Amino acid sequence: MIEAVRSFGAMGSDCTLTITVDDRSLGDRLASRAEALVRQLESLWTRFRADSELMVLNDHAGEDWGVSPDTFALIGAAIHAHQITNGIFDPTLLDALIAAGYNRSFEQLGSGLIAAAPLGRGASPVNAIELDAERNFVTLPVGVHLDLGGIAKGRAADLVAQLLENGGAIGACVDLGGDIAVFGDRIDDQRWAIAVDDPAQPGVDLAVLVLDRGAVATSSRVKRQWQTSEGSAHHLVDPRTGRPAVTDLLAVSVVAADAMWAEVYAKGALIAGSTAGATLLEGAGLSALLITELGEVRSIGAIDQFLVQTTTGHP
């Protein structure tokens, strides 16, 4: 067995595919197919391209609008995520993100001053979104615009892992900017090891998690920050306020069966804060690490069965 490795940039992230195969040519073919799938999904779901399927749908709020099966399924999952997290995950916050200053891709924000504007936030319109499964039609309420950034990369990681497994890979680790799905065997009887970055010391491992099949996703408010006229802002908007979340957590890493749900719950727990976030994760039966702004590391669920190393705090 050998490992084929492919690295590329997509979805605003550094992506790496590590694929266990019997021969190099199969690994190269699978890696090319997987990268192409990531780019295809990005073209559907990004909010930073006016011609993406997501943004075209947003432009037609108030109308019955047909979308691809992948986009229809993702929007349905986002609505379900809103329901099972008691509203803390909300895909209708695009306007709030733009008002907070996140009005273009993070690479283009730089360190310049971005004006922030207050945005009132009433009841979430998520439950008013209409889905027609027979035609793959979506009807957004007038004035409602979707951002799928809190679920799309996880879903993409799951779809890529499925493609690789169906294509004959013996095993793989799909890492789309920290949304990670793994399955099968590594070479030399190794297990898939996933490093959790220390949010207080970027580039330093806080912990290492190992698993044979499943997913890990990390949400952090440290990496994607920028300056506004009102001070620092980050990309995690609290749906209760319509503003960047005020939370005592710096980062949350969640282990789940699917990367999509690991991403949803990591984001939800971080926005909710350490107390409510722990309750959310425990209610879902998930395992996680919560890292507070004081540098404390809190274990949730059965995380110890995945944990092989910690360097800060006490799990």
CB proximity list for 134: less than 8 A, separation 6 or greater: none
CB proximity list for 188: less than 8 A, separation 6 or greater: none
CB proximity list for 272: less than 8 A, separation 6 or greater: 88, 247, 279, 280
pLDDT digit string, tens, across residues 116-165 = 444 445 567 999 999 999 999 999 999 999 999 889 999 999 999 999 99
Mean pLDDT of the 299-306 span: 95
Name the nearest CA neighbour of 105 among 59, 24, 42. 42
pLDDT higher than 70, residue 114: no
pTM given for the model: 0.87
The C-alpha atoms of residue 84 and residue 203 are separated, in whole angstroms, by 33
The C-alpha atoms of residue 241 and residue 295 are separated, in whole angstroms, by 26
* CA 194 to each of CA 174, 216, 240, 255: distance values in angstroms, whole numbers, following the listed order: 11, 8, 33, 11
Dihedral angle computed from the Cα positions of residues 281, 286, 287 and 289, in that order, rounded to the nearest 10 degrees:
-30
What does residue 252 show for φ and ψ, rounded to 5 degrees? -140, 130
pLDDT digit string, tens, across residues 237-294 = 888 877 787 899 999 999 999 999 999 999 999 999 999 999 999 999 999 999 998 8
Which pLDDT does position 189 carry in this prediction? Answer: 81
State the distance between the two ends of the chain, measured CA to CA, in whole angstroms.
Answer: 35
Q: Does residue 232 or residue 1 have the better pLDDT?
A: 1
If you ran DSSP here, which 8-state letter would residue 128 be given?
A: G
Average pLDDT, the chain: 87
41-45, 83-87, 94-98, 110-114: least confidently modelled range? 110-114
pLDDT higher than 70, residue 113: no
pLDDT higher than 70, residue 314: no
The C-alpha atoms of residue 173 and residue 171 are separated, in whole angstroms, by 7
The C-alpha atoms of residue 237 and residue 234 are separated, in whole angstroms, by 8
pLDDT higher than 50, residue 108: no
pLDDT higher than 50, residue 115: no
| Amino acid code (one letter) for 145 | H
The C-alpha atoms of residue 35 and residue 212 are separated, in whole angstroms, by 22
Report the run of H or E that residue 215 belongs to, with start and end.
strand 214-220
Mean pLDDT of the 30-53 span: 96
CB proximity list for 162: less than 8 A, separation 6 or greater: none
Q: Parallel, antiparallel, or unpaired: how do β-strands 2-10 and 64-66 relate? A: unpaired
For the four alpha carbons of 287, 252, 173 and 49, in that order, the dihedral sign comes to positive
pLDDT higher than 60, residue 105: no
Can you tell me whether residue 167 is helix, strand or coil?
A: coil
Which pLDDT does position 111 carry in this prediction? Answer: 45
> Which residue carries 């009807």 as its tokens?
139
pLDDT digit string, tens, across residues 187-213 = 888 889 999 988 877 778 889 999 999
Report the run of H or E that residue 219 belongs to, with start and end.
strand 214-220
The C-alpha atoms of residue 67 and residue 65 are separated, in whole angstroms, by 7
